[in-house]
Amino acid sequence: MTVKRITETFERLRGGEMLDEASERLAEVVRAVDATGKAGEITIKLQVKKLSRSGALEIIDRVTAKVPEEPQLTTMMYPTPEGNLITEDPRQQKLDLKVPQITGATDVQLKSVKLPDGTQVDLTTRKKPAGAQHA
């Protein structure tokens, strides 16, 4: 009798649930490695125990994964003399920025634009109109 491939045993562990779990863990690790560029790992561990004199064996499987994580976002804040935290540097001067008001302006939708090389482009179709001239 020849030795069976381990995949045949894997297919029978917990009625195939172990393979489903391992597949999900592998996909999770692959996605995280792709996103972070860091290494990940999946481990399938099998413990084999003899149950009785009858010769039956108990197989206990464990699927674990080391999923790389993105570094947690941090927040930079400044302390006040009172011990509070604020998001703006109290030592930095504030700029008095204002939104410019354009008088006489109405909502206008551009239909075409002339590029620096003189080409006219129709913004509704993003193509040069027929007969467009270069300057």
| pLDDT attached to residue 135 | 44
Q: What is the pLDDT of residues 26-80, one digit of tens each?
A: 999 999 999 999 999 999 999 999 998 888 999 999 999 999 998 888 999 989 8
pLDDT at 44: 97
Return the exposure string of 75-93: e unless at least 16 CB atoms fall within 10 Å of the residue's CB, then b.
eeeeeeeeeeeeeeeeeee
Sign of CA dihedral 4, 12, 29, 45: negative
Task: Provide the phi-psi class of 124: left if phi over 0, else alpha when psi is between -120 and 50, else beta.
Answer: alpha
Give per-residue pLDDT as tens, 69-124.
988 889 999 898 899 899 988 888 888 888 887 776 666 677 888 888 888 888 87
Q: What is the 3-state secondary structure (H, E, C) of the chain?
A: CCCCCHHHHHHHHHHHHHHHHHHHHHHHHHHHHHHHCCCCEEEEEEEEEECCCCCCEEEEEEEEEECCCCCCCCCCCEECCCCCEECCCCCCCCCCCCCCCCCCCCCCCCCEEECCCCCEEECCCCECCCCCCCC
The domain locations on the chain are 6-66
For 56, other C-beta atoms within 10 Å of its C-beta total 9
